[in-house]
Amino acid sequence: MTTPRSVALERLAYTLAAPVLAVAPNLYPDSPVNQVVQLAGAAGIGGWFLAAKSDEPGAGRKILRWSPLVLAAAVDVAAGHTTGWGPYGMDGLLAAGWAAAGYLVMPFSRHTRRRHRPALAAPAPQPAPAEVLEEPVAQPDDGADLLTRDARVLWEQAGMPGRTHIVKATRHAGQRHDMTILLRASETGRPITGLTEAAVAAPFGVHSSDVVLAEVAIQPGRQGGPGWMEARITPDANQRRRTKPTAQERWTDRVGGPKGGAPGSELVHKTRDDERGVTFYRAKMADSTETPRIDLAKVCRALNLPEDDSCVFVLIDGAEFLISAFDTPPLSAIFPATRELLTPDTKGMYVCGFTITGQPVKTMVYQHDKNAAAHGLILGVSRSGKTQFFAINMAAQSLDGQVVWLSTVRKDEKTTVLGRYIDRQGSNALWMARQLRAAKALCEIRAEMPWPHDGQPHDYKPGDTRCPYRQLNVYADEFMTAAQDGDFGEFIQKDGDDLTVTGLKYGIGFNPAGQSPFAHNGFSTEMKDNLRQNSRPIIFNMGSPGATRKAAEGTMENAYDVPTIPARYSRQEGSAIERAMKGEADPENGVSTGGVAVIVLDNGRAVLMRSLYADFDTDLSNLFPDEVNRLTAYEIAELEKRGLWFDWNEPVRPGEFWPEPDEDDEGEGHSSRRGGGGGRGSKGGGRSEQVASPRQALEAIKNLTDA
């Protein structure tokens, strides 16, 4: 073998430089030779530093390349600091060792070559023996088309992923790259395992998200089961789906998924009603046994709809549900009341309002199925629309030939107007107490009132022309406040409870209204249960969505989803973030929700509606019948016998509610309620004076114990 010239020259340099490194520091310490060697060593250390700091490959090779210079400087410095030749001739031994290391390793000449070039003595390359090509195993010709054969070639080049074989490849209609391949396990009777979307996507050069694996159903003439699998490769369709999805695809990808606003749902169809300005999304659960779980705000974001309760509504019916997206708030419209809408049908039902979808909502003036009168429960805060509903409900009852009484705690314009079209109307707690007491007495009178056809008394039968009396509807507005009145609250509470229990069979319906349906505010559990079971409760705005929902659930047997009623309907315009950054005020575009209510239907389902509008600034005679319906002469005579029929606006009569005190009692200092209603007493069932201080408490104890 011939030694390369660079190696021979480097070995010669090491041999000649070794004596100089040993002799120069000892004989000539200040010789320029020592300075040159030390400068070369410093340059080598700089090369080490740059090589170590560099991110390029080959740092070790560069460090080894500079090592002879650094080691030579180290030998020179060591020889200069030893006495003479050092112990045991250390200077000579170090120089000889340096030369031997360089002679054997040859770092400079060998490691300057980035790629190894064959030496001069390298043997000439011998031609490789010709490769013997094995004959491929002939695949049986199954008459596959060109697409299937090309797919098989790509599949075999990828190593038959999942140990499967392509049976057939089918091009999707109208697509260039989309296709479905039918796979089966290479070994008969083995299930396909370990096959992933990425393994299918790699041979065809598509993304793994463009591949969907599915099981193969057993069909006539073709096997199926675990040994077969179908792969849908759809890069073109997915590209279009990402940019221009259909309504079905958008719903599947963004709404019906596990993280969507309605997980597990499927879109049935999307329709548009341009006349009403509404888009309907009808959907159902893929599993009909599941109940829809809908996050309406999330659904709106997925469908690019405005997140606005006043324009987007959801209606759930079993496993199906309907999302209605309106262009403008549908319940901000006004639905004028007409006599045609308010006239009850043969079953006592009339239209009291319309839902968000434009459907009419009906309520009853009597219970046709129970053959009895109907109660009513109307809840809502001030200015929510209760008195408006009074007007249409009273008109419907009057059009059916029924008698109406109305009592309120305080006088106002609307109730005074209604008093012109009904039998009796008053505005204080005393009037309400007298009204309820008279209605309760009518139950006893009608229980003994003979019917003309057989002369025997019977229970009330709505619509029966033989009935000798008319249905009576007793309204008590602000019943909660009246039931807490210091003088007459206990009478109002007690007679109201009795009327809800016994009134229906005698044709008397009780219609209390207030701002709370709970016992601590005047509605006892017995009263609430009877009102709920024999009416369709109407809940207007209760001050907040939570309070409205709680009031509605308190009137329902099952707490279904209760729609919310905001304080005002307001469309979201523009971006709230941009307005905040610019310091602009939010647009003032609110519309009052007065007249919007939740009505609880017979099946316990709560529906949002807007009640019909009766304009009190105009004549209401077009809604009410021409003549006011009154009690019969027989009923009035019986009430007069009991001292209950007179002008109920009179002051309290002596002994009307409490027994008159005896002269001895008066002399002993006992007090009882007098005709003016201003006295306080502890006997006769009256409510004692409220205690507001320790002194009053002591006086009350003395009165109770006769101290």
Look at residue 578 and tell me if it is in a domain.
no
Note the pLDDT of residue 457: 92
Look at residue 41 and tell me if it is in a domain.
yes
Beta bridge partners of 685: none
Judge whether 538 and 379 are in contact, CB under 8 Å.
Answer: yes
Note the pLDDT of residue 555: 64
Note the pLDDT of residue 57: 72
Same domain, 357 and 221: no
Look at residue 698 and tell me if it is in a domain.
no
Judge whether 452 and 464 are in contact, CB under 8 Å.
Answer: no
Same domain, 363 and 378: yes
Amino acid at residue number 531: L
Same domain, 427 and 372: yes
Same domain, 186 and 269: no
Q: Which of 291, 326, 361 is the last residue of a domain?
A: 326
Q: Which of 642, 660, 675 is the last residue of a domain?
A: 642
Same domain, 322 and 363: no
Q: Which of 642, 660, 685 is the last residue of a domain?
A: 642
Task: Give the 3-state secondary structure of residue 560.
Answer: coil
State which H helix or E strand residue 232 sits in: strand 228-233
**Residue 608 φ then ψ, to 5°:** -85, 130
Same domain, 511 and 608: yes
Same domain, 559 and 632: yes
Note the pLDDT of residue 395: 96
Look at residue 435 and tell me if it is in a domain.
yes
Distance CA 488, CA 674 (A): 13
Amino acid at residue number 452: P
Same domain, 279 and 392: no
Cβ contacts of residue 484 below 8 Å, gap of 6+?
Answer: 521, 522
Q: What is the CATH number of the domain that holds 492?
A: 3.40.50.300
Across the chain, which has 707 residues, the per-10-residue mean pLDDT values are: 69 72 67 73 77 73 74 74 68 72 64 48 55 49 80 90 90 86 89 90 88 84 82 85 82 88 92 90 92 89 80 87 87 88 94 89 93 91 86 95 94 90 94 96 94 91 91 92 88 92 93 73 75 88 77 63 70 75 77 82 82 88 93 95 93 84 50 40 42 59 55
Judge whether 397 and 365 are in contact, CB under 8 Å.
Answer: yes
Same domain, 304 and 232: no
Look at residue 89 and tell me if it is in a domain.
yes
Note the pLDDT of residue 26: 67
Judge whether 423 and 628 are in contact, CB under 8 Å.
Answer: yes
Same domain, 197 and 252: no
Domain that holds residue 317: 247-326
3-state secondary structure 167-182: EEEEECCCCCCCEEEE
What DSSP string runs through 380-424?
A: --TTSSHHHHHHHHHHHHHHTT-EEEEEESS--HHHHHHTTTSSE
Residue 88 exposed, middle or buried by CB count within 10 Å (0-12, 13-18, 19+): exposed
Look at residue 675 and tell me if it is in a domain.
no
**Overall pTM > 0.95:** no
**Residue 6 φ then ψ, to 5°:** -65, -35
Q: How many domains does the chain have?
A: 4
Judge whether 672 and 660 are in contact, CB under 8 Å.
Answer: yes
Same domain, 507 and 616: yes
Note the pLDDT of residue 71: 76
Distance CA 102, CA 71 (A): 10
**Residue 3 φ then ψ, to 5°:** -75, 135
Structure tokens at 295: 């996050």
Note the pLDDT of residue 484: 86
